[in-house]
Amino acid sequence: MPSPDVSPAAHLIAASGGRVTRTRIAVLEILQDSPRSLNHDDIAAQLAADGMPHDRVTLYRTLDWLVEQGLAHRVIGPDRARRFKAGGETRSQHAHFHCDRCGHVLCLESIRPEEQFTLPAGFEPDRAELVFHGTCADCGRQRGAKA
Amino acid sequence: MPSPDVSPAAHLIAASGGRVTRTRIAVLEILQDSPRSLNHDDIAAQLAADGMPHDRVTLYRTLDWLVEQGLAHRVIGPDRARRFKAGGETRSQHAHFHCDRCGHVLCLESIRPEEQFTLPAGFEPDRAELVFHGTCADCGRQRGAKA
DNA sequence: CGGCTAATGCTACAATGTTGCATTAGCCAA
DNA sequence: TTGGCTAATGCAACATTGTAGCATTAGCCG
């Protein structure tokens, strides 16, 4: 019997019916530890920093799998690169904020576009993506001293 | 002296201070004639159908130039490919609708996300992107007969 | 018409993501 | 614990979308 000190990430992965591998655990933990969404480079760099050798393709497939299992979700950035974040929040219709200064993408859980709009007749939306661009709270605080 | 039957597209291009070339006129007219946004393939196919030989890179540069001049605007699709549409509407903050059936992207001029939301303290948005996903009016009409 | 140079077209390259296949390693049962 | 099945990995090659450099073509203007 395994000791109970396996990470929550490992539990989630096991509960999804997939095999619990080093890569999946490491990637999911990286996503869970980050307050913002990460792209492939971010994650690859973190894996490297953790001394985890890995393959580019495996990372793509691992992330796809996590999204498929609802353990992570994807945001498509303005640089047309995908960013990932832990939690299967895709279907909970919250907005995102992309900061033009630091480049980070943050979730705005309180804002839900679906509830706010009435579309023209005939349109049947089943989800909505709302992304704000501008200066985030962190960068805004620094601005007084800087600009 | 040129006859007055030059296209409106040619006038717009001339007014922007750039040279009036076959490619620019053709691309701008294609965008103007389309009710939906087009990606590079769409435009290249249309140019080919019009018997206009052209280069892939030139098309990219032509589109960039049109956007720069405010004669067209860009939408970034979920397939992380750029789509273009005539008119410099980028800064008028309207929403878009991506149809999951036909793949087309339409503008919803009546919906302006900026006016609807209050962000958490500290966030300073200067623009917003709102994209709905679902079934568009056209595909919805066909659905009764189909599904 | 002639010349200046913006625009084009070609080739090569960059970034992001995908496919195929041989090898490794999780998981389960004996 | 061990052995075997097969999911997951790692590698190489490829696909798509977009850029950069540079020689050539063709708008524009005098």
pLDDT tens digits for range A63-74: 999 999 999 988
Dist. CA B27–CA B89, nearest whole Å: 17
Q: What is the CATH architecture of A92-147?
A: 2-Layer Sandwich (3.30)
Closest nucleotide to residue A59 (Cα to C1')? D9
The Å distance, CA of A3 to C1' of C16, is 40
Closest residue by Cα to residue B21 from B55, B41, B34:
B55
Report B:62-81 residues touching A (Cβ under 8 A): 76, 78, 80-81
Task: Say if residue B102's pLDDT is above 70.
Answer: yes
Closest nucleotide to residue B19 (Cα to C1')? D27
Tokens 């490491």 locate to: A26
Q: What is the mean pLDDT of residues A28-50?
A: 92
Q: Which of B108, B122, B138 sits opposite A119 (nearest CB)?
A: B108
Q: Which of B108, B128, B140 sits opposite A132 (nearest CB)?
A: B128
Which pLDDT band, with edges at 50, 70 and 90, does B111 fall under? confident
pLDDT: is B101 or B90 the higher one?
A: B101
Q: What is the mean pLDDT of residues A47-52?
A: 91
State the pLDDT at residue A146.
Answer: 42
Closest residue by Cα to residue A41 from A104, A83, A75:
A83
Each domain of chain A, given as residue ranges in start order, spans: 1-88, 92-147
Whether the domain at B1-88 and the domain at B92-147 fall into the same CATH topology: no
- A137-146, B8-17, B85-94: which is most confident: B8-17
User: Chain A: nearest CA to B9, how far in angstroms?
Assistant: 29
- Cα torsion A107, A109, A114, A116: sign: negative
**Contact between chains at A125 and B133 (C-beta distance less than 8 A):** yes
CATH of A1-88, one of 2.60.40.2240, 3.30.930.10, 1.10.10.10, 1.10.4100.10: 1.10.10.10
Task: Say if residue B34's pLDDT is above 70.
Answer: yes
Give CA B96 to chain center in angstroms.
11
Which pLDDT band, with edges at 50, 70 and 90, does A30 fall under? very high
Task: Say if residue B66's pLDDT is above 80.
Answer: yes
The Å distance, CA of A17 to C1' of C29, is 18
Scored b (16 or more CB within 10 A) or e, A83-92 reads bbbbeeebee
| DSSP per-residue codes, A104-119 | -EEEETT--GGGT--P
The Å distance, CA of B4 to C1' of C2, is 27
Dist. CA A144–CA A142, nearest whole Å: 6
- Cα torsion A17, A22, A23, A29: sign: positive
Average pLDDT, chain A: 82
Dist. CA A75–CA A108, nearest whole Å: 13
Locate B75 and state its tokens: 């939408």
User: Chain A: nearest CA to B98, how far in angstroms?
Assistant: 9
Residue B6's CB: how many other CB atoms inside 10 A?
A: 13
**Phi, psi at residue B84, to the nearest 5°?**
-125, 155
Dist. CA B131–CA B98, nearest whole Å: 7
**Contact between chains at A129 and B126 (C-beta distance less than 8 A):** no
State the pLDDT at residue A2.
Answer: 40
Report in angstroms the alpha-carbon separations of A129 from B24, B103, B131.
32, 16, 5
Beta bridge partners of A106: A97
Task: Say if residue B39's pLDDT is above 50.
Answer: yes
Dist. CA B22–CA B10, nearest whole Å: 9
Locate B5 and state its tokens: 């039957």
> How many CB pairs (< 8 A) connect A and B?
114
Beta bridge partners of B12: none
Task: Say if residue A103's pLDDT is above 50.
Answer: yes
Which chain B residue has its CA at the smallest distance from A122's CA? B137
